[in-house]
Every structure is written in structure tokens, then in C-alpha cells.
Amino acid sequence: MRYIKLYFTCIKRSIITRLEYKRDTFISIFNFFVTNVASILSIWMIMESIPSLNGWTMVEMGFLYGFSMLPVALDHIFTDDLWSVAFFKVQSGEMDRMFTKPVPVLFLVIAETFQLEGLGELAVGVVMLSVCGSMLSVSWSFGAVFLLIMATLFGALMITSFKIIFAALAFKFKRSGQLLQINYNFISYTRYPLKIYPTIIRGLLTFVFPFALIISYPVEVTLFATYSPYVIAAVIVAVSCALFALSLCVWHILERKYESTGS
């Protein structure tokens, strides 16, 4: 209860910060639109020249793309400050002030930002999903909806877990932004059908950084009814929770290796 109240206080602070720089906030929202429109257009251009990609039509690709935005957006909204931990906050000693507060350091990192752009990303994702869904006349069975919701929520948890693990490495190596970036880039592979990739990438996306599990499989289940939605949902929940627990352990251990900087 206490942490929920504290979280809202911190978030309010973060939003006040954004409003201090209205122009910057406007530009970054604009930037987000340009980035997303550009990637949607690039998929569209690819599909223009080839009628289908491994049996996937343009609209199905749009459905996949739209869905892939949801867990990413959710993670983006809540945990964006992990990037700055990985890239510079540990190295510059800026974490000092978090270490002197009677609250878990990871909590303060998460509560540091509330990324408004993420809300736009979420909205675009939902719109793409419903437009492409109705064009494909997807049967919105209870199982499918349940699976997509679970995949969104726990998918975001999985993405966050990986971010926590790679950001925590900064406590040991001072900077781990590049490693985090490499890991994060794997998510964008799931915006195309899994089948177009060689086995090694597919294996990587299923077993090592299982982003396919939270994006590709739920979409395939919804569109082509390949597996039981409940089984996939259960696997997603189990794997994400396990990864989250692991990430908390890793953070907890590596946090004690923080060395600050000379002053």
C-alpha cells in the first residue's frame, strides 16, 4: 500500500518534469509517430512487392506488428529509466542518491519515469490490432482474447525482466547499455513471421530470449489456431514469472557491486 502511494507520488513528479519541457515532450511524441509510421510503411512496401511472406498476407503482418507493439509499449511506459541506468547513471555515480533512500533501489529506478509516449504506442497497437483483426475477420473467442491479454501483460514483464538483468550488469561493468540494446533488438525480429528465420534465430527467439513466445506464438494461435491458447498462456506466465524472479536476484546481487564515482 505504502509503495503504491509512493509510486504515484514519484510518477506525478515525473510528469511535472515532462511538462517543464513542453517542446521536448512534443518533439518526442512526434518522433514516436514518425518512427512507427516509417516502420509500418516499410513493411507495407515489402508486402507491395511480394504478395505474401511465407504464407502471411499484408493484413496478417499488420496484425502481428500491431500486437508486437503492446507488450513493448507497456514495458516502455513503466520501466524506461532502466536504459539510463545501463547507459550512464551507474557510470556517472548518479545512483548514489537512490542508494541513500530507505526504499529498494530498483523501485526508485522504476518509479523515476512514466513514459507518456508509451501510451501512444499502446493506442497505435490496439488500433492496428482491431483494424487488421476485423479485416481478417478473426474469431475473437474467449481463449484468444485471454491469450492476447496475458501475452501483453506477462510479455511486458518478460521484456522488463531482461531489461533489469542487463541494466544490473552495469553495476559490475559500469556500462551495459550496448548489451541491453543487443538484447532488446531481438524483440524487433518477432515483428516478422518466425518461419522466415533460420533455425538458429528461431531457437534463440524461443529458448534463449523467448520473445517469440510472447509475440509470435500468441498471434499464430489467434490467426491459425496452431496450439491451445490456454497452454501457450500458461507457458508465457510461467516463463515470465521465472525470468522476473531471476532478474530480481541478479539485480539484488549486482547492486552490491555498485562503486559510485570519486568526488
Site residues, other proteins (CB under 8 A): 2, 5-6, 9-10, 13, 16-17, 20-21, 93-94, 96-97, 99-104, 173, 175-176, 178-179, 182, 256-260, 262-263
Nearest to 67 by CA among 223, 234, 235: 223
Nearer to other proteins by Cβ, of 173 and 227: the residue is: 173
Q: How far is the CB of 134 from other proteins (least distance, A)?
A: 43
Nearer to other proteins by Cβ, of 24 and 231: the residue is: 24
Nearer to other proteins by Cβ, of 103 and 145: the residue is: 103
Is residue 66 within 8 A of residue 210, CB to CB? The reply is no
Nearer to other proteins by Cβ, of 111 and 236: the residue is: 111
Greatest C-alpha distance within the chain: 62
Q: How far is the CB of 59 from other proteins (least distance, A)?
A: 38
Q: How far is the CB of 169 from other proteins (least distance, A)?
A: 9
Is residue 175 within 8 A of residue 95, CB to CB? The reply is no
Nearer to other proteins by Cβ, of 91 and 222: the residue is: 91
Give CA–CA dist 143/131, Å, rounded. 20
AA letter at 125: G
Q: How far is the CB of 64 from other proteins (least distance, A)?
A: 29
Q: How far is the CB of 247 from other proteins (least distance, A)?
A: 18
Q: How far is the CB of 142 from other proteins (least distance, A)?
A: 41
Q: How far is the CB of 100 from other proteins (least distance, A)?
A: 5
Q: What are the C-alpha distances in Å from 2 to residues 34, 100, 171? A: 39, 18, 28
- Grid cell, residue 79, equals 520501466
- Grid cell, residue 184, equals 532488446
Nearer to other proteins by Cβ, of 91 and 240: the residue is: 91
Is residue 67 within 8 A of residue 215, CB to CB? The reply is yes
Nearer to other proteins by Cβ, of 55 and 102: the residue is: 102
